[in-house]
Amino acid sequence: MSASVEKRARLTEAAARLIHQHGFSHTTLADIAAAAQVALGSVYYYFKTKDEVAQAILDRRSGDIGRLLEAAGQLPDPRARLEALIQVWVSDREIDARYGCPIGSLCYELAKGRGPLSDAAAQPIKQMVSWCDEQFRLMGHVEQAPVLARHLVACLQGISLLANAFGDPDLILTEAAYLTGWLGTIQKI
């Protein structure tokens, strides 16, 4: 990896972490430069605007989700794949309880203004919903797949919000157990 690509990746990582912890509107380009241990001018070299930083984070999150879903896709059946997605929330419950879901909170904040980033902000969530839809279709629930997929993702995002609001990661454990049981009631057709 070239030094230029490495520095841009380091800036994107620092921005993603800060924005997750403090929010998009409360994170400045100077904050990002300090966290990445680079001069402020370096941030402006790679990102002309804060919206460009947000787009880089969204691209990174989409890539992360793509890799996660690809790994889950290696499991033998669609139900096991959906359960693997639920387990991501279990694994990340401490982070979600402290800061919220890194994907959901960013998407929510960027979509508020319905500006140029709002469509891009929805992409990581749409990616998850589409993948879940495909899994439910593979289980034979073709007509219900869109509703089932949206329900699952809404439950996962919602429990992240509640865990964050209450500061209680155990809420995610309870919801994960419930969702896993719910998947067990949806038989493969």
Q: What is the pLDDT of residues 139-160, one digit of tens each?
A: 999 999 999 999 999 999 999 9
pLDDT band at 5 (very low <50, low <70, confident <90, very high): confident
CATH code of domain 50-185: 1.10.357.10
pLDDT, tens digit, for every residue of 76-90? Answer: 999 999 999 999 999
pLDDT, tens digit, for every residue of 26-50? Answer: 999 999 999 999 999 989 999 998 8
Residue of 105, 96, 99, 84 lying closest to 152 (CA atoms): 84
Question: What does the pLDDT read at residue 189?
Answer: 67
55 phi and psi angles, rounded to 5 deg? -65, -40
Q: How far apart are CA 152 and CA 169, in angstroms?
A: 18
Specify the 3-state DSSP secondary structure of 60. helix
pTM: 0.90
Q: Which residue has the higher pLDDT, 129 or 121?
A: 129
Within the chain, strands assigned E span none
Tell me how crowded residue 51 is: count the other CB atoms within 10 A of its CB: 15
53 phi and psi angles, rounded to 5 deg? -65, -45
Class of CATH domain 1-48: mainly alpha
Specify the 3-state DSSP secondary structure of 181. helix
Domain extents for the chain?
1-48, 50-185
| Residue 172 CB contacts under 8 Å (≥ 6 apart), including other chains | 89, 90, 93, 96, 97, 159, 160, 163
* Per-residue tokens: 158: 């919602």
